[in-house]
Amino acid sequence: MAIEIERKFLVTGDDWRTLAIGTVYRQGYIVSGNGRTVRVRIAGDQGYLTIKGSAIGISRSEYEYAIPVSDAAEMLDALCDRPQIEKTRYKIPYDGLIWEVDEFSGENQGLILAEVELSSPDQPVSIPAWIGQEVSHDIRYFNSNLAKLPFSSWRS
């Protein structure tokens, strides 16, 4: 079984911006409920289909498959709920790990999150200076939930 173990944080400041070049992502959800999701994503010029199980702490099962970008575009247009997730992802190496900083646009404009994937839930992590509050256990920050209740609606 493929397991994703991930911690998620808010990002503070702009110091991270010079550390990587971003890739534009568009993703949507075919199914999302009871903690499980089936997601379609276009990242740059590659398409993916991803199935995720319910989270147990910061871990959950994840299966991801490359698919033709034309198929991913068709699925996003015809099968996925709205709104969709639009973001630019920056992959930043730091102290032996890769931090993925997501700068959201569209309905989630103004939200910037960082994720780091781990090999075990108790793996020690050195935190970069531009990392703020941890939100790993706040389900509002799951992309599948941001598609249902976008960040822009939190302010009202």
> Which residues carry out catalysis?
29
Nearest to 9 by CA among 128, 102, 114: 114
3-state secondary structure the chain: CCEEEEEEEEECCCHHHHHCCCEEEEEEEEEEECCEEEEEEEECCEEEEEEECCCECCEEEEEEEEECHHHHHHHHHHCCCCCCEEEEEEEEEECCEEEEEEEEEHHHCCCEEEEEECCCCCCCCCCCCCEEEECCCCHHHCHHHHHHCCHHHCCC
